Structure 1
Amino acid sequence: MTSLCHNIINISCVKNSWSNGVRISLYSLMILIILTTLVGNLIVIISISHFKQLHTPTNWLIHSMAIVDFMLGCLVMPYSMVRSVEHCWHYGEVFCKIHTSIDIMLSSASIFHLSFISIDRYYAVCDPLRYKVKIKRSVIFMMIFVSWSVPALFAFGMIFLELNFKGSEEMYYKHIHCKGSCSLFFSKTSGVLAFMTSFYIPASVMVCIYYRIYFIAKGHARLIDDTSQFHISLEETNGISRRRERKAAKTLGIVMGVFLICWCPFFVCTVMDPFLDYTIPPALNDTLIWFGYLNSTFNPMVYAFFYPWFRRALKMILLGKIFQKDSSRLKLFLDSNP
């Protein structure tokens, strides 16, 4: 017997026909993803907020991005989990719009943060002498403001003004919409606009910047190797600094790569779906959305693997040392740069 999401048969969406075993497995997996996302990003937020040594320009951007990822796990993933497993939306049309807007906003905010982080790393690695002049605290907070405000205006404006339906209203209401659904729908025009704004343009800027950082850092490494035999003490100091900056750039490059791998399939399918007459199965879209959400889960793992300060901060948090007097002034690394 077919199960429906709503009691009005003619307009109701159809529930999935999965067994209880499959549902329990999916719920367990998604709850694990949500909890890992929340705990990992909360540790990043607490670490950077608490320890004064971590109050650097790059870390404030990472801190803001961790808040984005934490909010995604807190405000978006739980409702998406129920929708994905049950294939029904039980929370009303108004909350559907709010949920979809927050989802788009936070997903877009992640790549905006990563774009600004790439700019920050460019000046740190390629123009270190003028880094503190160009990347001041006021500049960082302006980057953070733009990373939150532009995606918020874009997402809520797109959904609440129903610009995403523009040009395809008849197709949506006659062939796709049903009572008890909360699916993300784009027309051809709005789909291309969302793809370009939220993904393609900032991602392209990121890739170009990191490509340039990679070759400049390589040149620095060669220069240090060639001259170190004549200026051992000075070049050792410079070499350590350069290696630290290259490591930071490499780590943040990996964070960017994880983002692209996680979100690229979803954005490509989203922009292609209107041109394929909306033939991409909803189950595939749901899968790709969760694959994108995994980006927010992986980011703290990247920090834990590459950054010793993160592992030390984690240990202090777990042992409760952050509650000790003057714990915020504890040194997590020897130099002034993580």
Structure 2
Amino acid sequence: DPHTTPPPPPPPPAGGRRGVAGRGPGMNMESFPGGSASGPNATNCSVPPGGGGGGPRAVPFTDGAAATVVVLGLLTLLTALINAAVIGAICTTKKLHLPANYLICSLAVTDFLVALLVMPVSILYMTTETWTLGQVVCELWLSVDMTCCTCSILHLCVIALDRYWAITKAIEYASKRSARRAAVMVGIVWVLSVFISMPPLFWRQRPGRGGGLQQCIIEHDHLGYTIYSTVGAFYIPMIVILVLYYRIYNAAKTLYQKRGSSRHLSGRSTGSQNSVDRCRLDHCRVSHTFCASDVSNSDPAPTPDKLETADGQNEKNQICTSRERKAARILGLILGAFIVCWLPFFLKEVLVGLRVVQPSPLVSDFLTWLGYVNSLVNPLLYTSFNDDFKLAFKKLLRRKEHA
């Protein structure tokens, strides 16, 4: 009947933020008016059905939203600046040109990419609650987010592995610890990250022609990929890091205990002096590696001559005890920050994939940004406790002030 008012068009799908299995904010399952999400090949980017209501949904910009944007913007800016400072310090300071620091520099590059390419887009998406950047940018953003965040986590794993070898095989590994070896380790990390993050591109469906893109998300109904990505990107690296640092701590603790036995043996005979010096040398090398190498391994290991010129054994013992406590604190901070930032997010991802829980958008966004914060914490923990990095940062600030 031409005189009858036509029914209103169906509303567009709820403007949720992206949900990434193994990376990015996890969200409730995407749904369409009059139906539910399809099976494993469900589209990842919602397209409004034919008819009206296909335009972006207007979202009121409240004071709370403005405050959120300001806070997240500051976090993004700090993450970019601090990681850029680490990269600049290592590149411009010759004393920091060491294989262990190359791994830290690569970690800073990865975290800088998170701050530059991932976090600003996430802020825009959270603010507008609808995707306005198109299909190509959506695909790139999801892929870069998953790859860079996974790569950041795997960097922590190879840094722990490098330190483990430096302590347990100090003499043997010293000859193998080169810039080329560090480059190989970094290359392996990036390849693994790509293999973990790229599979969704093979089954991700594209919206039809003329359809408007409303959401940029990945479904959680592909359970196999959810398990594969979360295990590869977090759970296996977490286990490896915990095991390695546990062994590092035990190895260092054993060598600290040799301090007392070497002191006891030193008064027995001159024939055993060589073995005592060797024990002291190994202990101090490992003590330094455990302490300072938790940050950078910037200083050379002490030699027996340097040990002999010390003021006395008591002073040496106090220095070693101080290093032991400092090492334990740094180790606790590194492990604590990593687990606090990423465990809640990946636990939620598994539970969403198993359809045990369906968190709200607010909870999902909070857990995602908690993971992003790890990219801000990493450069602080891995550099701020090292004197060489502090001097390098001061030089950079002086250059900027002079310029």
TM-score, normalising length: structure 1: 0.82
Distance 2:372 2:397 in 1: 26
Distance 1:301 1:135 in 2: 24
Could you say which residue in structure 1 is the equivalent of 2:101?
59
Say if 2:126 is the partner of 1:84.
Answer: yes
Distance 1:221 1:277 in 2: 47
Cα distance change on mapping 1:114 and 1:288 into 2, 3 Å? same
Distance 2:374 2:145 in 1: 14
Cα distance change on mapping 1:55 and 1:99 into 2, 3 Å? same
Cα distance change on mapping 1:282 and 1:158 into 2, 3 Å? farther
CA RMSD of the aligned region, Å?
A: 3.1
What's the offset of the Cα at 1:149? 2.1
Could you say which residue in structure 2 is the equivalent of 1:220?
255
Distance 2:88 2:264 in 1: 43
Letter matched to residue 159 of structure 1: P
Q: Pick from 161, 164, 183: which aligns with 2:202?
A: 161
**Tell me, what secondary structure is at the counterpart of 2:199?**
helix
Which residues of structure 2 form unaligned runs of 5+? Answer: 1-10, 16-46, 268-275, 295-326
Say if 2:355 is the partner of 1:276.
Answer: yes
Per-residue CA distance 1:149-199 (angstroms, 9 max, x = gap): 2212432x2232136x9xxx9xxx9xxxx9421234332111111111111
**Tell me, what secondary structure is at the counterpart of 2:373?**
helix
Distance 2:60 2:348 in 1: 25
What's the offset of the Cα at 1:227? 1.3
What's the offset of the Cα at 1:111? 1.6
What's the offset of the Cα at 1:230? 4.7
Say if 2:289 is the partner of 1:245.
Answer: yes
Say if 2:365 is the partner of 1:286.
Answer: yes
What's the offset of the Cα at 1:121? 0.5
Distance 1:70 1:231 in 2: 51
Say if 2:334 is the partner of 1:255.
Answer: yes
What's the offset of the Cα at 1:282? 2.1
Query: Kindly, what percent of the aligned residue pairs are identical?
Result: 26
**Preserved contact between residue 135 and residue 213 of structure 2 (Cα < 8 Å):** no
Cα distance change on mapping 1:189 and 1:200 into 2, 3 Å? same
Distance 1:145 1:71 in 2: 16
Distance 1:136 1:76 in 2: 32
What's the offset of the Cα at 1:18? 5.6
**Preserved contact between residue 90 and residue 97 of structure 2 (Cα < 8 Å):** yes
Could you say which residue in structure 2 is the equivalent of 1:298?
377
Query: Which has more helix, going by share of residues?
Result: 1
Could you say which residue in structure 1 is the equivalent of 2:188?
146
Looking at CA atoms only, which structure, 1 or 2, has the larger radius of gyration? Answer: 2
| Counterparts of residues 1-338 of structure 1 (less than 5 Å) | 10=53, 19=62, 21-155=63-197, 157-162=198-203, 179-186=213-220, 187-228=222-263, 230-231=265-266, 234=277, 238-247=282-291, 248-249=293-294, 250=327, 251=330, 254-276=333-355, 279-320=358-399
**Preserved contact between residue 48 and residue 59 of structure 1 (Cα < 8 Å):** yes
Which residues of structure 1 form unaligned runs of 5+? Answer: 325-338
**Preserved contact between residue 210 and residue 253 of structure 1 (Cα < 8 Å):** no
TM-score, normalising length: structure 2: 0.69
**Preserved contact between residue 102 and residue 179 of structure 2 (Cα < 8 Å):** no
